[in-house]
Structure 1
Amino acid sequence: MDSEIKRTVAKIPLLSIKAGPRDGDKWIERLKEEYTALITYLENNKQADNDWFTIESNPLGTRWTGKCWYIYEFRKYEFDFEFDTPITYPDTSPEIAIPELENRTEKMYRGGKICLTVHFKPLWAKNTPHFGIAHALALGLAPWLASEIPNLVDNKMIRHNEDK
């Protein structure tokens, strides 16, 4: 891992319980760890003036939705994102989707799922079960937004709300 990734990971609590949605009480304990890591990550972002997403889940922690945003050229681009917790979680990372951007970039799959295969999924695999949802956002969604949103804006694939 490069130093930027190490600094990011160092600020997010690592998880210890290896459990997925089918694991009953162990999953509830894992969810507690997930929420703790997410809260810590959100608080750290707010303190660093780097607030860039909101997130919530259904009561079972199997469906997650939120909003993410990226500031480019002093303009805020905001998107809804979503993902389901895979049945084989935490061995399998979540597939984060931004449905409104589907078919606008090659770094996306059907349903608006962002491409995380080359860089993020190997990192996730090496760090199972210690990585969780906060890590997927920090090391998957955030770099994807930073890479893709400027490109999409510059190529006029997306427009700011004020320009619509």
Structure 2
Amino acid sequence: MESAGDRIPLLTVNAGPRDPNWADRLREEYAALIRYIEMSQAEDNDWFLIEPDDSGIHWRGKCWYIHELVKYEFNLEFEIPATYPATPIELVLPELDGKTHKMYRGGKICLDIHFAPLWSRKQPSYGIAHALCLALGPWLAAEIPVLIDQGVITANS
């Protein structure tokens, strides 16, 4: 069976925010995100909501994880780096800053071991939707249950 990450359209425009072709890359990013959201909704697996600023560089929203029928919701933010897509985005969950060792200062989730090598092999074909599907989703699934079991986060925190 094909994974969700395999079904997200690959991107073709190799342009970052400082490149004249950034608008074309951003159109591809939106199309891939729309496809991923449609797939997730069709599988009753909605788990994030994000939107960019007018430049398409700064993104904010929410992501959530359901554990034992309780929804845990977190702020999500990221900025497209100047060297994108050669450099992956850094996904930030500010309210989890300092609550797990699998996170950098400022609430940036650790992607070095598992996702960064994949991104470097697949760039410029991978984009925001791929980072959410193949990095943030698995990170939440691995870390949130542990943080709940340890009492680090609660349904009301």
Question: Per the shorter chain, which TM-score range?
Answer: over 0.9
Is 1:159 aligned to residue 124 of structure 2? no
Distance 1:136 1:9 in 2: 9
Is 1:23 aligned to residue 50 of structure 2? no
Amino acid at match of 1:93: P
Distance 2:48 2:57 in 1: 19
Q: Deviations over 1:89-146 (max 9, x none)?
A: 0000000010000000000001000000000000000001000000000001000000
Amino acid at match of 2:73: E
**1:11 pairs with one of 7, 10, 16:** 7
Structure 1: gaps spanning 5 or more residues: none
The percentage of counterpart residues that share the same residue type is 55
TM-score scaled to structure 1, two decimals? 0.93
The answer for the alignment partner of 1:51 in structure 2 is: 46
Structure 2: gaps spanning 5 or more residues: none
Distance 2:73 2:18 in 1: 33
Is 1:102 aligned to residue 97 of structure 2? yes
**1:142 pairs with one of 113, 123, 137:** 137
TM-score scaled to structure 2, two decimals? 0.98
Distance 2:5 2:139 in 1: 17
Amino acid at match of 1:136: A
Q: Structure 1 residue 8: deviation in Å?
A: 2.0
| Counterpart secondary structure, 2:64 | strand
Q: 4+ residue stretches of structure 1 with deviation over 3 A?
A: none
The answer for the alignment partner of 1:69 in structure 2 is: 64
| Counterpart secondary structure, 1:105 | coil
Q: Deviations over 1:13-64 (max 9, x none)?
A: 000000000012x000000000000000001000000000001001111101
How many residue pairs were aligned?
Answer: 157
